[in-house]
Amino acid sequence: MQWIESYLRPLSQQNTGIEAGIERKAEQVDSIQTEISSLDIEQHDSVPVEFKKPVETEEIQGQKVMNEWRWETKQKEVNFPNRHWWIISHGIFKNNNLHLRDEADILDFLLAINLCTDDPVSFSQNPGQVGRRAYEAVNPRKSSKLRYRGDLKPGQFINGLLYSQEIPSVVEIERDVVSVYKMVRKFRSMRVDSDQDMDIRVGLHMYDDGLTSTVWTGMANFYYVCANVLFSGRVDTDTKDNMVSEITNLSKSEAAGWRQAVNRLKHPDEGESGTGILDGDIEVPRLERLRQAANSVLIHAMEQRFTDFDEEI
């Protein structure tokens, strides 16, 4: 049994870079349900942890070396307990010959879990934006005492109300985490011999970055995930929109609006017929649905390529 630490973070259009305290929105999640019995995701404010306590040490070339030790136990208190979740695997790694080799395997496993949920949250070992404090000098001298600025507000109250129900109280991990983890692990660690495999690897990196980015970066990243994986060479816009809508949960018109919005971000002085994002001329689906589209495209591409691997063998 392996216990992996993670923090639940929001995927949110609220995360525009001007609103603080975004990470606290994930505190409203009460439970996380999984499709497989070998995976539990639970909250525990503290857990007993064994550690080696030195009994006999010696110094060798300026370094202390333990010659003898004994096991002792202490309680580990987690940071940000309202957003901290333990990912508990029951034989997933051992039974499937997927032994944890290094820290990269943990990051791949978290990425696989993120691909398996369509809810507007993500799992990360980074707690996110937690330092938002400022202090004011009591007097002009540099050596002055500092006074905490407790009067700073986290952001606009009306925005908080608008997005207060964005994250559900129950998060669902809806796909087979083990099979997705096998694919993610292979594509992130194998030697790349084709443009197709490189496109998938780059797509996984861009997807991971988009999960905790601001709304504009997330929108662009998720589109480039789809574009890199689905399109090869020059493709006309109508074909692009058709390909995205065929594999994802988006209609052709929604796919077109997404593409146009990303083009406007990429080329703010151009665009199609002078359309704009903020003036309402371009309709863009919510970031949650764009993430779902990226999930579908990446899993579809990896599954197809895995079939090719079997044929090559």
**Residue among 26, 50, 177 at smallest CA distance from 111:** 177
For residue 31, what are the domain limits? 1-45+81-174
Q: Are residues 211 and 152 in the same domain?
A: no
Q: Is residue 53 part of a domain?
A: no
- Is residue 52 a part of any domain in this protein? no
Query: What is the Cα–Cα distance from 121 to 289, expressed in whole angstroms?
Result: 12
Q: Which of the listed residues 139, 174, 209 is the one where a domain comes to its end?
A: 174
| 225-234 pLDDT per residue, tens | 998 899 877 7
Q: Are residues 203 and 150 in the same domain?
A: no
User: What would the mean pLDDT of 191-214 be, rounded to a whole number?
Assistant: 89
Q: What is the number of other CB atoms lying within 10 angstroms of the CB of residue 250? A: 22
Tens-place pLDDT, residues 249-291? 999 999 999 999 898 877 766 545 555 555 556 778 888 999 9
Q: Which of 160, 176, 112, 195 is nearest to 13 (CA)?
A: 160
Is 219 within 8 Å of 287 (Cβ atoms)?
yes
Residues 151 and 300 grouped into a single domain: no
Overall domain count for the chain? 2
Choose the final residue of a domain: 150, 174, 198. 174
Model confidence pLDDT, tens digit, residues 49-91: 988 887 777 777 777 777 777 888 999 999 999 999 999 999 8
Kindly tell me if the per-residue pLDDT of 15 is higher than 60. no
Hey, how many other C-beta atoms are within 10 angstroms of the C-beta on 12?
A: 23
pLDDT at 273: 52
Is pLDDT of 312 > 50? no
Residue 152, Cβ density class (10 Å: 0-12 exposed, 13-18 middle, ≥19 buried): exposed
- Return the closest-CA partner of residue 181 out of 36, 311, 32, 31: 36
Judge whether 123 lies within some domain.
yes
Inter-residue contact 128 to 178 (CB < 8 Å): no
Q: Say whether both 195 and 161 belong to one domain.
A: no
Which residues, in sequence order, are CB contacts of 82 under 8 Å at separation 6+? Answer: 24, 27
Domain boundary at 149, 174, 199, which? 174
Residue 196 main-chain phi, psi, to 5 deg: -65, -45
Give residue 230's Cα distance to chain centre.
Answer: 21
Asked whether residue 225 falls in the same domain as residue 281, the answer is yes
Asked if 195 and 230 sit in the same domain, the reply is yes
